Amino acid sequence: MDNREKLITLRPSIPTITEENQTSDFERFQNRSLRPILKFQNELLIEVFKNHLQKRKGVFFNLSPEKKLAYIEQILHKDQKFRNLLVGLVIGQFSISEYLFFRKEEKELSRRVSDLLIQRLQSQLEAFGD
């Protein structure tokens, strides 16, 4: 087992994921690789996002909860540099075989990573404090 493959053993399992209804390679990759990586990287993703919010002069903290959800989605759709940073935190946890699959299907899988990041950050508004 090479060093990159050892990363897989560090990932948390997600027992709610079942593979019965997975119809595509994308779904399997999302559930076997992306979701566990995002769960593993959760604390770091939150800290990186909090830092980004501070750099933006804390505007986020004065918004209503509904507007905070929209802000998270907007920032990940419009700020390509920041989105690429977060996606890079995910890619950095790939094994070589995962990276090769990702590279081959980069457009679709980058979209999925962005969508999962939005969901993860939106579900943890309380982590960003006021």
Residues 6+ apart with CB under 8 A from 34: 90, 109, 112, 113, 116
Tokens of residue 39, six digits:
């769960």
**How does residue 33 score in pLDDT terms, banded at 50, 70 and 90?**
very high
**Which segment of 5-9, 65-69, 112-116, 118-122 scores lowest on mean pLDDT?**
5-9
Count of alpha carbons within 13 angstroms of residue 10, beta-carbon side: 12
Give pTM, 2 decimals. Answer: 0.88
